[in-house]
Structure formats: C-alpha cells, structure tokens
Amino acid sequence: MASVNAIKDDGDRTSLIYNPVVRGIVFQCVVFFGILALIYWFVQNTLDNLARAGRNISFGFLNERAGFDIGQALIPYSSDSTYTDALQVGLLNTLLVAAVGIVTATLVGFIVGIGRLSRNWLIRKICTVYVEVFRNIPPLLVIFFWYLGVLAILPQPRDSINLPFGSLLSNRGLSIPRPVWGEGAWLVGLAFVIAIAMAIFVARRASARQMATGQRLPVLWINLGLFVGLILLAMVVTGFPLSFDVPVLGAFQTSGGFAIGPEFLALYLSLSLYTASFIAEIVRAGIRGVGRGQSEAAHALGIRSGTTTRLVVIPQAMRIIVPPLTSQYLNLTKNSSLAIAVGYPDLVSVGGTILNKSGNSIQIVAIWMVVYLTISLLTSVFMNWFNTRVALVER
C-alpha cells in the first residue's frame, strides 16, 4: 500500500496510463471481457455449426423408448422403458460400484497401511508387496485380470463350485441366498432401530460417567448384548419370519437367490484393491506424520499401546489422511467408468448405447460430464465437512 500511496503523492504530474490502480482495473477488465468474448464465441460457433450440420441439441429424445435390455438393473427396467430410465439404471450401477468400492478400499487400505508399520516382519512385507503390485499396474489391466484371468476360468454354471450357505460360484458370477422376510418382519426391523438408539444412549452415558468418575463401563459388551437380545426377542415373538431363497442350478444359469454378475465382481474387486493400495500409503504417511513424541508421551503416562494408537495417534493422523483420501474416493468413482471394458452397465456404458442409437452425442457427453461433476462435488463437500471435524483445533 505504501508504494501506491507514494506514487499517488505525485499523481498530479503522471498521466493515467502510469497509474497502477487504473492500470490494474483496465487490465482486469480487458481479461474479463476477453474471456467472456471467447466463451461467447465458443458457444455461438458451436450452435452455428450444429445448426449448419442440421443437428439440434434438445433433450427431448430422452423420453423415447429405449428398446434395449440391461443386464443388471437395480430399479425395474425393460426394453419398453425410456432413455431416462436407462440412464438412471446406469447411474445407480455407477453409484453402487463406487459406494461399495469406497467402503472396501478404505477398510483394506487402512489395514494394509497400518500393516506396513507393523513390528511383524512377515505382515510388513506382505503389505509392502501388495501396495507395490497394485499401485504400479494400470487399473484397466487389473480389471481385465479379474474378469478374464480369474472369473472367466471358473467352471460353467452346471458345474458351479458349492460354497458355504448354499452359495454357488461359476463363470456367471456369485449366487448367494437371498433373505426372504415373512409376516411380522417389521418388528425385527423396529427392534434393530431401537437397539441402535439404545446403543448410542449407552455410549453417551458411559463417556459422561467416565468424565465424571473416571470409571469405565464395558460399552462394547453391553451394546452387543442389546443388539443380539433385542433382535432375538423380536424374532421369537414373531415366530422367526425369516427364510432364505437358496440359488439352484437352472437350465442355463442359477435361478433364485441373489446373483452378483462377474462384470460387477471384476470391477468391484479391481477398483477396491487398486485404490486400497493408494489409501494404504496415505494412511502410512498420516501415521508417520504424527510426531514420535506424541506416542512416547502417551506411553510415559502409562497408556496402553492399543489405546495410544486409537486415541492419540489416529486422531492426529486423520487430519493428514483425509484430504488426500478425498482424491482417492474421487479417483475410484471416476475409474468406475472403466466398466465399459467388461460390459458392466454403468452410466458411461448405457449412455454410450443411447448415444449410438439416438445419435445425440453432444447431449449424452454433456449429461456424463454434469453427472460425474455432481458426484465428485458432492463427495468433496462431504469429505470437506468430515475434514473440518477431524482437523486440528488450534487454540
């Protein structure tokens, strides 16, 4: 500011051109209007060229009949449904594999990351090999490995491998028994909800009590007892309203039960295991980033090793871990578009079919971009919120 004032002092003698304030404003205006003009030119040119090519960009085609079937649909869908329905099926499939993948990748990542810091030589080395193998292979190859290298060489459905609980594994995927809830099952659900509420209450009371008296309650055992007891009680009262629809071998594939296709399995396993290797490194970096003095101090106070990790090291590591973790979650979601390589009907795959069938490439590409942008931004918003919760509180 001082320099500006210094120049302003003899401002009467200099012209406006040499006035840094005026200059700044002028240049910013020029850049601003320049960018605006460029955007206008892009949009206008696109519209002109589209009009000249006789292609309009309305989204009306989305209400037309789709005409094609989709192998895995979470909502009712047939070839009579509209393109919009098809896109929804694709979107849900993307969200499904991303959500399940993120949970698995986080669990595996944390276990492997902590494992790399283990004092046990074997665990440490296994975790290192895992990270180095998966981190250094392109995700597409990992997907192909699972799809063509593992799942495709499983036996035909009629020679399915029998797994525990009547599950069947073949090259058509994994069929597991599907729980069928009978009459009065809502009571069991209600018992579950009540158990959750009571568990939260117990945990709150226990920590309040610890704060006040220093005595600790066995919260875990109390809550476990609550869950098992309440649900069992509800089951007995309603006469066990739960049966299982066990998959059986059919003419071509298994029927009944809940079938998980090899496309989903390949994609899910690849994305989780691939991303887990990055998360493991982030976790390791986070834990290493906490000063050694912190755990030494905790030990000096006589706190046990497990408790030290849980209450001293991890909370401080989290503020290092969470920001890069967000990027990994976004990567996993975006990598799920590799689904197309194995024919998993995700948003990109279904959208591509519509693009080809209707010829509305610009609209479909726009929908893809908007949807992925929205998913990514929502993930970021959530993770930022989470980050502020674990961030270091400076006093």
Partner 1 sequence: MKHIATGIISAAILSIAATAASAATLDDVKARGTLKCGVNTGLAGFAAPNDKGEYSGFDVDYCRAVAAAIFNDPNKVEYTPTSAKDRFELLANGSIDLLARNSTWTLSRDSSLKFNFTGINYYDGQGFMINAKKIPGVNSALQLSGAAVCVQTGTTTELNLADYFKANNLQYNPVVFEKLEEVNAAYDSGRCDVYTTDQSGLYAIRLSLTAPDDHVVLPEIISKEPLGPLVRQGDDQWFDIVKWVGFALVDAEELGITQANVEEMKGSANPEIKRMLGGEANSKFGTDLGLSEDWVVNIVKGVGNYGEIFERNIGAGSPLKIARGLNALWTKGGIQYAPPIR
- Determine contact, residues 272/101, Cβ cutoff 8 Å: yes
Q: What string marks each residue from 63 to 92 as x (binds partner 1 by CB under 8 A) or -? A: ----xxxxx------xx-------------
- Name the residue with tokens 């909502």: 75
373 SS3 class:
helix
* Closest by CA position to 74, among listed 330, 350, 376: 350
- For position 388 contacting partner 1 by CB under 8 A, the verdict is no
Site stretch for partner 1 (CB under 8 A), options 217-225, 286-294, 314-322, 342-350: 342-350
| 181 binds partner 1 per the rule CB under 8 A | no
135 contributes a contact to partner 1 by CB under 8 A: no
Q: Which stretch binds partner 1 (CB under 8 A): 45-53, 95-103, 270-278, 387-395?
A: 45-53
DSSP 3-state assignment of 323? Answer: helix
Measured distance CA(107)–CA(19) in Å, rounded: 59
340 three-class SS: helix
Q: Indicate whether 225 belongs to the interface with partner 1 (CB under 8 A).
A: no
Q: Residue 243: which H helix or E strand, with range? A: strand 242-245
Q: Which is nearer to partner 1, 277 or 360 (CB)?
A: 360
184 binds partner 1 (CB under 8 A): no
**Closer to partner 1 by Cβ: residue 259 or 276:** 259
Pairing of strands 173-176, 258-260: antiparallel
Read off the DSSP letter of residue 191: H
Q: Which of 1, 17, 75, 153 binds partner 1 (CB under 8 A)?
A: 153
Q: Applying CB under 8 A, does 345 fall inside the site for partner 1?
A: yes
Q: Which two structure tokens, joined as six digits, stand for 362? A: 């610009």
45 binds partner 1 (CB under 8 A): yes
- Which neighbouring-strand residues pair with 156? none
Q: How far are the Cα atoms of 238, 242, 351, 360, 376 from residue 57, in angstroms, in the given order?
A: 57, 52, 16, 7, 25
The residue written with tokens 């979601």 in the block is 333
CB of 246 to partner 1, least distance (A): 18
What is the distance of C-alpha 188 from the center of its chain? 29
Out of 92, 195, 341, 371, which residue is the one contacting partner 1 (CB under 8 A)?
341
* Backbone angle region of 303, left / alpha / beta, with phi > 0 → left and psi within -120 to 50 → alpha: beta
Closer CB to partner 1, 128 or 361, in the complex: 361
Q: Which of 349, 371, 372, 379 binds partner 1 (CB under 8 A)?
A: 349
> Closer CB to partner 1, residue 322 or residue 367?
367
CA 137 to each of CA 142, 187, 220, 267: distance values in angstroms, whole numbers, following the listed order: 7, 49, 41, 15
Instruction: Give 63 or 210: the residue with its C-beta nearer to partner 1.
Output: 63
The reply to whether 356 sits near partner 1 by the rule CB under 8 A is yes
Position among 340, 383, 386, 387 found at the interface with partner 1 (CB under 8 A): 340
Interface residues with partner 1 (CB under 8 A) are 42-43, 45-46, 49-50, 52-55, 67-71, 78-79, 148, 152-153, 156, 171-172, 250-253, 255, 262-263, 340-343, 345, 348-349, 352-353, 355-359, 361-362, 364-365, 368
